[in-house]
Amino acid sequence: MAINPNGADESDVVGVIDGSVDSTTREFAIVLGENQVVQLDELVVTSQTLPDGTELHHYGIVTEGRNSIEGAEFASDTERITQGMTMPGLMSSNVEVSVLRTVPELWLPPKPGAAVKRASGAHRENALFLDQMEQPLPIGVDQSGLPVFADFSFINGEKGGHLSISGISGVATKTSFGLFFLYMLFETEAGRALLGKSGPLVRAVVFNVKGEDLLHIDRPNARYETKAGAPEQWLALGVAKPGPFERVRLYAPRSQSSTAGSLATDINSRDTGEVVAYAWTPQQFIRQGLLRYCLPEADDPRNQLSFVEQRVRVQLARWAYPLENEDGAVLLAPPPDGSSFNMDRVLQEKRPPRKADEGHPFRSFSDLIDFLTPLFAPEDGALDSHWAAGVQMGTALAFLRRLYAQAPRIGHLVAVGASEVQLDEPVTVVDIHSLHDDAQRFVVGALVSRIFEEKQGHGREPLRFIVLDELNKYAPREGRSPIKELLVDVAARGRSLGVILVGAQQSAATVEPTVVSNAAVSVVGRLAAGEAEGYKFLSPELRERATRFLPGLMVLDQPLIPAPIPIRFPFPAFSTSTAEDTGVSKEVKAKQQADAFERLKK
């Protein structure tokens, strides 16, 4: 679209550039004309003709507004000027603008006195770099209800990857935004178009950390109808009929109170058949080396637990035989002669199943502890060097102690006959809310590492999205742990492997900096006053404002646009809490069943 500022409607002029303060290449101020009202976050444009005839446009976003009475020297003058009407004064309305873009790209400040207009139409698209975006994804609406886009090529790993979401909990913005982002990708035409040919194979894993909230995203939101303005916002984003996520698989951990062989969950808000219980079989536990994620502090350089853990992890793989007639169970017995100490090689060995009485059967976590205890706390005090990796007795006992401690926390997640989380549907919700912190780390570590490993050597597409709240728990700023190493790895290399981390945290300051800094696109909701200072990409005004944000208002920072843009995202039409899910209507249920049959037929 051609830009012709001279032909633009003069009524768009809101004021002129303030000459009493400096206008720079980064910011300027506007003296508003009489009766002009300009809000924060509005987009404006000002044009000037350079000496060589070039038409130069500056695009900006309003960051602060201020009114004052010129001529009032003392506070008491205000009354005389406005109420008593005995002293004249001039009302002055001023707004500050942060420069978003200069077209053409010349590093020149705007001209004082130049007229400033609201940026609409092609000007607005220019202001938001829409012409520069290769893969625009609507990601919210601005102050005026018009869509704001993020360049998906900075999220999907092409030019940049990962999405970082910050905000205090309780205002329900982080998870909601993560889900909104997934909805735009998976459930809208525009989103599917961005996912491209491999779209049907793209998967997202959402970890549910709070209540049973996210186990309802496949249901309509009962409160949606009561939210004024939500349909309009969705419409602005190109979604005429927002609804629940169409294809979701829900997973919940195997109940802690399960008896051997049972696979129930503790979920109350959904029917049994709707939620799949997950756990790992002993075989998966060993073959995926999940012992690593059982000992959260194993990487701490101050102790030697990691030596023991690594050794035990390999030894278990070497000692593992399939247990005859018990799928997933393992028989621990001395390895065949010449068995490698290299994990990868051991895993390639095809071993025949053996009978239970030929060694030590491993059907549950307790079996593992029973097996390891005599090795690490021998009656005669002599440690088996094959297992203990030459560490002192103290370390060996420390290893056992930690394993004992994890038994009640993680034990129930290792069971024969269990199924681990499978990414069959586009969106998979994995509930971890009821688990102990260590068990949460175990599940996240086990699942993310599997997803990451499956993608090694398979190219960027199809993408894998991992939506993980409370990132500070898994990759804290201080300390080392296997899961932290894994997430740092995902943050650094996930971009090229197509594993995209949608990470959320209360405060980015509490998360490992490499994880946060690797996210090309950041979204910030309401911040705690003490934490806002850490967000250097926010202007001082926005940092202050962010402590007062209401739910639904966030600031979007992306590489293309030099200033953060406040956005609003619509109230979801899918349930994001148990309370919002009042079940599905009969018609919908019938249609869902019909659809399911259709899919089966295909």
Given the rule CB under 8 A, which residues bind another protein? Answer: 71, 73-74, 76-77, 80-81, 84-90
Q: How many residues does the chain have?
A: 602
- Rounded to a whole number of angstroms, the minimum distance from the CB of residue 19 to another protein is 12
- Rounded to a whole number of angstroms, the minimum distance from the CB of residue 112 to another protein is 13
- Rounded to a whole number of angstroms, the minimum distance from the CB of residue 91 to another protein is 10
Kindly tell me which of 89 and 462 has the beta carbon lying closer to another protein: 89
Taking the C-alpha atoms of residue 299 and residue 502, their distance in angstroms, rounded to an integer, is 25
Kindly tell me which of 7 and 84 has the beta carbon lying closer to another protein: 84
Dihedral over Cα of 183, 187, 189, 192: its sign? positive
Kindly tell me which of 6 and 76 has the beta carbon lying closer to another protein: 76
Taking the C-alpha atoms of residue 439 and residue 570, their distance in angstroms, rounded to an integer, is 34
- Rounded to a whole number of angstroms, the minimum distance from the CB of residue 16 to another protein is 16
Chain centroid, CA 542 distance in Å: 22
Kindly tell me which of 84 and 338 has the beta carbon lying closer to another protein: 84
- Rounded to a whole number of angstroms, the minimum distance from the CB of residue 516 to another protein is 49
Maximum distance among all alpha carbons in the chain?
Answer: 105
Kindly tell me which of 71 and 374 has the beta carbon lying closer to another protein: 71
Q: Are 391 and 311 in contact (CB under 8 A)?
A: no
CA dihedral 542, 545, 550, 556 (to 10 degrees): 0
Structure tokens at 430: 């994995």
- Rounded to a whole number of angstroms, the minimum distance from the CB of residue 71 to another protein is 6
Kindly tell me which of 11 and 76 has the beta carbon lying closer to another protein: 76
Cα Rg of the chain, angstroms: 29
- Rounded to a whole number of angstroms, the minimum distance from the CB of residue 209 to another protein is 60
Taking the C-alpha atoms of residue 250 and residue 166, their distance in angstroms, rounded to an integer, is 25
Kindly tell me which of 85 and 600 has the beta carbon lying closer to another protein: 85
Q: Please tell me whether residue 394 adopts helix, strand or coil conformation.
A: helix
Kindly tell me which of 80 and 360 has the beta carbon lying closer to another protein: 80
Exposure pattern of 81-90 as b/e (b: 16+ CB <10 Å)? beeeeeeebe
- Rounded to a whole number of angstroms, the minimum distance from the CB of residue 88 to another protein is 5
What is the number of other CB atoms lying within 10 angstroms of the CB of residue 382?
A: 9
CA dihedral 403, 408, 410, 411 (to 10 degrees): 90
Q: Please tell me whether residue 580 adopts helix, strand or coil conformation.
A: helix
